[in-house]
Amino acid sequence: MARLCIAYDEPVRSTPELQLLLDSAVAGTRITPEQALELYRFAPFHALGRAADQVRRQRFGDQAHLATYLIDRNINYTNVCTTACKFCAFYRAPGHSQGWVRDTEEILHRCSEAVELGATQIMLQGGHHPDFGVEYYENIFAAIKAEYPQLALHSLGASEVEHMSKVSGVSVEESITRIKAAGLDSFAGAGAEILVARPRTEIAPLKESGERWLEIMEIAHGLGVESTATFMMGTGETNAERIEHLRMIRDVQDRTGGFRSFIPWTYQPENNHLKGRTQASVIEYLRMVAVSRLFFDNITHLQGSWLTVGKEVGQLTLHMGADDLGSVMLEENVVSSAGAKHRSNRGELISLIRTSGRIPAQRNTLYEIVELHADPANDPIDDAVVSHFSSIAVDRPILPVVSTS
C-alpha cells in the first residue's frame, strides 16, 4: 500500500501567489484540480479556512448566519456482504455464524421509534446480501412508506444498486425506477469511499470501480433521484488522489446537478483488515473540508463529520466552510464498529453550532428548515434524542433477528 502523504508534513508556504489563488476562489473563479492540490498542500491553515468561510457566506447570503443539523436513524437490514472491503468492521461473509438479517417487522419497529423521537429521515444501510435483489428493496421501502409516509427514505447508494441489479438480472435503470416507485426518496453517498482506481482497488477490490459508481449516480440523477457524495479519507491515498476524487465528483455534478451535498469523513481503524496502518490527521481533514468548499462551486452543501473526528473538530468545520453538522444519528452501527465511538445528542449539536457563532436550525433531507433555534431560552429539552450505537434507541423489547447461517 502506498505511503499516505501527510499534509502537515508539507512545507506550508505563505506566498503572494497562494493568496492570489485564495482571493480568486473567493471572487468566484473556478479553481483547477492542480490549484486545489497546491492549496491543500501549501496554503496557510488560517488563510485557507478564512477563504472557505467567506465562500460559504457568499453562497448562503441571508442564511449565512445559520448552521443546520438533522435528526435521523440508520437502520441496518443485514450485515451479510459479499464485497469484503478491507476497511469494514461491520460485514460478515455469507454463511458466517454471526451473519443476520432483520425482518420487516423489526425494521418498522425502528422506524416507529425514529418517528417518536422526531426523526425526519431513515437511512437504510446493509451488506450486499447474495439473495437480495430489487424485489427485497421494493418490499422494504413500500412497507415503510405505507406505515410512515412522513419519513424521507435517504438510503442505499450506487454500490447497492449495482448489486441488486445483478442479483435480479435487470438493468440499473430498471432497479432505480422500481425502488423509487416503491418509496425511495434519494440516495446516500454510500460506497464512494475513494473513487480513484489505485487506492480503491487496494481497499475494496471486489467493489465496482469509481467510474461505475459515478455512472450509476448519474443515471439516478437523470431519473430524478438526487443523492449526496462522500469521501472516506485516510486509507493510503496520496494528496493528489484525494483531489482527483473531488475532480471526479465535480465533473458529474457539472452534468447533472444531482449531488445535494459533499460529506468527507475519516477512516476508522479498529476491527478491520487495514488495522489503522494509515490514517488521516485532524489537520488533513480540516484542510480537506476547506478545499472542498473552494473546489465545489457546483455543490451547495458541505457537511462536517463529528461522528468520525469528534464533536470539537466537527465544530471547527463550521469555520472551514461547512454549513451543516450532520445528524444526531439515533442509531449507527457501521462506522462505530470500526472504532468511531463519538456520541452526541440534540442539545449538544445545538450548543456546538451556537458556540461557533452560528444560529442552529434543524433541517430535513432537502435542507429545508424545520425548526429555528434563535433563542436559547426556547431550545428543545429532549434527552431521548441521542445517538446510539447498536440495539434500540428506546427501552422496548427487541424483536427476533433472522439468522442467515
Interval 30-58: pLDDT, tens: 999 999 999 999 999 999 999 999 999 99
The beta-strand segments (E) located in 100-197 are 100-101, 121-125, 152-155, 186-187
Mean pLDDT along residues 359-378: 96
pLDDT at 275 over 70: no
Would you say the pTM of this structure is higher than 0.75?
A: yes
CA separation for the pair 396, 50 (Å, rounded):
47
Closest CA to 311 of 346, 358, 335, 261: 346
CA separation for the pair 231, 226 (Å, rounded):
17
Torsion of CA 51, 55, 58, 61, to 10 degrees: -110
The per-residue pLDDT for 399 is 36
Q: Is 181 exposed, middle or buried (0-12, 13-18, 19+ CB in 10 A)?
A: exposed
Tens digit of pLDDT for each residue in 321-361? 999 999 887 764 544 444 344 456 888 899 999 999 999 99
Poorest-pLDDT segment among 29-33, 200-204, 244-248, 270-274: 270-274
CA separation for the pair 76, 207 (Å, rounded):
19
Q: Under a CB-based contact definition with an 8 Å cutoff, are residues 165 and 175 in contact?
A: yes
Tens digit of pLDDT for each residue in 93-117? 888 888 889 999 999 999 998 998 8
The per-residue pLDDT for 381 is 80
The per-residue pLDDT for 11 is 54
Name every residue whose Cβ is closer than 8 Å to that of residue 166 and which is 6 or more positions away in sequence.
Answer: none
The per-residue pLDDT for 6 is 41
pLDDT at 397 over 50: no
Q: Collapsing DSSP states into helix, strand and coil, what is residue 194?
A: coil
Mean pLDDT along residues 286-290: 97
Q: Return the ∠ at Cα 302 (arms to 298 and 305), rounded to 5°.
A: 155
The per-residue pLDDT for 123 is 94
pLDDT at 395 over 70: no
Domain 7-397 has CATH 3.20.20.70: yes
Q: Which residue type sits at 83? A: T
Q: Please state the domain extents for the chain.
A: 7-397
pLDDT at 3 over 50: no
The per-residue pLDDT for 276 is 54
